[in-house]
Amino acid sequence: MTESSLRARQKKRTRDRIYEAAVDLFAARPYAEVTVDEICERAEIGRATFFRFYGSKAGLIGEFGRRLADRIATRLEESDLPRATDQLWAVQDEITTAWGLSATSTREMAREWIRNATAADLQEAHPPELFALVADIVRDGQASGEFTTTYEPDFVAWVILAALSSITAGWLGSGDDESLVRGTRDTVAFLLDGLAR
């Protein structure tokens, strides 16, 4: 066991402990009423540790994204979908389902993050794991001849995730689950038409 892998596991445990403490508190009281100090106390960490991992209370939304990326990766591994098109539909479905089932506090957290995000934050809005996963799907689709090779896989992944994020951000304001499902499905269908060979 290397020191770096031990350190990575310790960081993950701390990150998980903070996020789970926050989720527990958000389940008991409205998001706006929960303070960073309360989260730190529940997670048994100092404020500096909290801010090093998340930057702000709204920054906890990044953990929601990382966990969503893990769920998508697991689904793709378990379902063994051979076509890149089917894999992108699975990504859309997981994103829509996760947000549709998300707690009110998660939605409030996302709205706060969006309100306070800088241009740099928006550039890095997606967990790197999710970005890499979608880029790999596109790359595989190009290698198999399913998708055109006209566009760089990283660019396509960015466009797909940016489009899905835009639909989700609009939905956060309305809460209309039908608009989330319809919007993300229409977006993926439109983008797949552009990728088709």
Please give the pLDDT value at position 124: 67
Q: What is the pLDDT averaged over residues 38-61?
A: 94
- Same domain for 172 and 161? yes
Q: Kindly report, residue by residue over 11-32, the tens digit of the pLDDT.
A: 999 999 999 999 999 999 999 9
- Same domain for 93 and 182? yes
- Same domain for 46 and 7? yes
Please give the pLDDT value at position 172: 87
Has residue 123 got a pLDDT over 70?
no
Please give the pLDDT value at position 122: 67
Residue 147 pairs with which residues in a beta bridge? 196
CB 195 within 8 A of CB 147: yes
Q: Kindly report, residue by residue over 139-185, the tens digit of the pLDDT.
A: 999 999 999 999 999 999 999 999 998 899 889 888 777 888 999 99
- Same domain for 142 and 93? yes
Domain holding 180, by residue range, is: 58-195
Predicted structure pTM score = 0.87
Q: What is the pLDDT averaged over residues 93-100?
A: 94
Has residue 70 got a pLDDT over 80?
yes
- Same domain for 70 and 140? yes
As a three-state string, the secondary structure of the chain is CCHHHHHHHHHHHHHHHHHHHHHHHHHHCCHHHCCHHHHHHHHCCCHHHHHHHHCCCHHHHHHHHHHHHHHHHHHHHHHCCCCHHHHHHHHHHHHHHHHHCCCHHHHHHHHHHHHHCCHHHHHCCCCHHHHHHHHHHHHHHHHCCCECCCCCHHHHHHHHHHHHHHHHHHHHHHCCHHHHHHHHHHHHHHHHHHHEC
Question: Which residues, 6+ apart, have CB-to-CB distance to 182 below 8 Å?
Answer: none
